[in-house]
């Protein structure tokens, strides 16, 4: 009499193939994630600079008050 095996689960080869595919996808995504983060930091810095410029113009009109530029911003002159 033959016994039937009820196989459930994944083999080692299948798991390694899935891990290899996931690894390749991660390698494709990482460089673009870095540029997205850099762009976000640049946009935040430009927004801070615009706010400081607006505060300086209003402050100078009112009573000669000048606001310091944030130290963490390295972008200047709209570059």
Q: What is the pLDDT of residue 58?
A: 77
8-state DSSP, 9: S
C-alpha span between 60 and 52 (Å, rounded): 12
Q: What is the pLDDT of residue 73?
A: 63
* Structural domains of the chain, count: 1
For residue 16, is it within any domain?
Answer: no
C-alpha span between 65 and 57 (Å, rounded): 9
Q: What is the pLDDT of residue 2?
A: 66
Site of tokens 């706010």: 51
Digitized pLDDT (tens) for each residue of the chain, 79 residues in all: 566 666 778 899 999 999 999 999 999 988 888 888 889 989 998 998 888 888 877 777 676 666 665 666 665 544 4
For residue 53, is it within any domain?
Answer: yes
Q: What is the pLDDT of residue 35?
A: 86
- pTM listed for this prediction: 0.47
Q: Which domain holds residue 43?
A: 30-70
For residue 25, is it within any domain?
Answer: no
48 close to 73: Cβ distance less than 8 angstroms: yes
C-alpha span between 75 and 79 (Å, rounded): 6
For residue 58, is it within any domain?
Answer: yes
For residue 22, is it within any domain?
Answer: no
């Amino acid at each position: 009499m033959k016994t039937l095996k009820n196989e459930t689960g994944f083999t080692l080869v299948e798991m390694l193939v899935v891990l290899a595919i996931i690894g390749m996808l991660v390698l494709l995504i990482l460089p673009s994630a870095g540029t997205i983060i850099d762009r976000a930091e640049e946009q935040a810095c430009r927004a801070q600079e615009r706010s400081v410029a607006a505060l300086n113009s209003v402050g100078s009109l009112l009573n000669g008050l000048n606001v310091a530029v944030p130290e963490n911003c390295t972008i200047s002159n709209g570059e």
